[in-house]
């Protein structure tokens, strides 16, 4: 009887009236319409003068001697490379901070979390010097390392929080069965951390495709430009005539497609990754 009363109380606590539901729906619809206004305006402007031929022109003609698909390939190389490196580092670090006892663990973790306050522009000068010295300037690796570096504190924080939600008894059981720490990580904890790993990969892919600062600072060759940096090349190549503005806006629409598709098809993984591990048993 007591459990039944508690369930009824929880149900009343989280129940939402029909009026509140309708209000939420109206609010979300309005926010969606506001968000769609700039997108609608961009698509409309991209179809001016020549219509769909603007998209055909952008896709079939070279810009400063570089085919349009090359910019997408460069962005994809940077995004995938940064995502793989980020998952490798952050999953190891998150597992270590959560499940392994070692001297200075709390202090080191606090230092990592404090790095969340460091912004990208602050790192430009030291990174530029390092890449120049190491002959990495003007390479994809420079952008990959930079995008990964700036995201590591967030990734470590997220992975540690997830591993904190997994029972420590799994570690004890693995030790009893004779598994070492590496086997325990790869065979037990990493498979269970799949939601958080996918979440981290999706977020990094989105951030990398949208990144403008690091490709702008560390790439100077047209052949190495990403889609975000290539926007300036589009403007210089097409000019500002009515016909050219349509092609320019068509190029902007095309370079925004990967980020939108990633978000649309991976939003469930983002939600699952954020919520999983949030509640501890």
| Residues 276, 161: Cα–Cα separation, whole Å | 10
Q: CATH number of 54-275: 1.10.3720.10, 3.40.50.10090, 3.30.230.10, 3.40.50.800?
A: 1.10.3720.10
Q: Which of 211, 159, 210 is nearest to 189 (CA)?
A: 159
pLDDT for the residue numbered 234: 74
| Residues 39, 45: Cα–Cα separation, whole Å | 10
| Residues 139, 152: Cα–Cα separation, whole Å | 21
pLDDT for the residue numbered 278: 46
**Would you say residue 5 has pLDDT above 70?**
no
Structural domain spans, the chain: 1-33, 54-275
Give the bridge partners for 225, in sequence order.
Answer: none
Is 192 buried (19+), middle (13-18) or exposed (0-12) by CB count in 10 A? middle
pLDDT in tens, 237-270: 666 677 788 888 888 888 888 888 888 887 777 6
DSSP letter at 172 equals H
* Average pLDDT taken over every residue of the chain: 84
pTM of the model: 0.81
| Residues 170, 192: Cα–Cα separation, whole Å | 11
**pLDDT (mean) for 126-142:** 93
**pLDDT (mean) for 69-83:** 93
| Residues 69, 101: Cα–Cα separation, whole Å | 48
pLDDT in tens, 143-190: 999 999 999 999 999 999 999 988 888 888 888 888 888 889 998 999
């Amino acid at each position: 009887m007591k459990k039944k009363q508690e369930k009824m109380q929880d149900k009343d606590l989280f129940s939402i009236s029909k009026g509140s539901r309708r209000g939420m729906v109206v609010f979300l619809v309005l926010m969606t319409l506001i968000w769609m206004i700039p997108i609608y305006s961009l698509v409309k402007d991209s179809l001016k003068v020549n219509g769909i031929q603007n998209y055909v022109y952008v896709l079939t003609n070279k810009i400063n001697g570089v085919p349009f698909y090359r910019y997408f390939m460069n962005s994809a190389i940077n995004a995938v490379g940064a995502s793989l490196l980020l998952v490798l580092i952050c999953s190891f670090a998150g597992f270590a901070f959560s499940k392994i006892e070692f001297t200075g663990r709390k202090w080191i973790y606090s230092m990592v979390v404090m790095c969340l306050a460091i912004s990208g522009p602050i790192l430009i000068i030291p990174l530029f010097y390092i890449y120049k010295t190491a002959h990495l300037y003007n390479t994809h690796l420079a952008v990959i390392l930079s995008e990964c570096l700036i995201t590591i504190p967030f990734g470590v924080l997220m992975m540690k929080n997830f591993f904190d939600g997994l029972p420590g008894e799994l570690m004890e059981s693995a030790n009893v069965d004779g598994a070492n720490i590496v086997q325990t990580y790869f065979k037990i904890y990493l498979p269970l951390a799949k939601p958080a790993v996918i979440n981290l990969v999706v977020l990094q892919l989105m951030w990398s495709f949208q990144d403008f600062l690091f490709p702008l600072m560390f790439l100077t060759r047209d052949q190495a430009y990403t889609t975000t940096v290539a926007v300036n090349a589009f403007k210089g190549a097409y000019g500002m005539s009515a016909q050219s503005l349509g092609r320019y806006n068509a190029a902007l629409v095309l370079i925004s497609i990967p980020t939108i598709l990633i978000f649309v098809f991976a939003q469930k993984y983002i939600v699952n990754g954020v919520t999983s591990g949030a509640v501890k048993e």
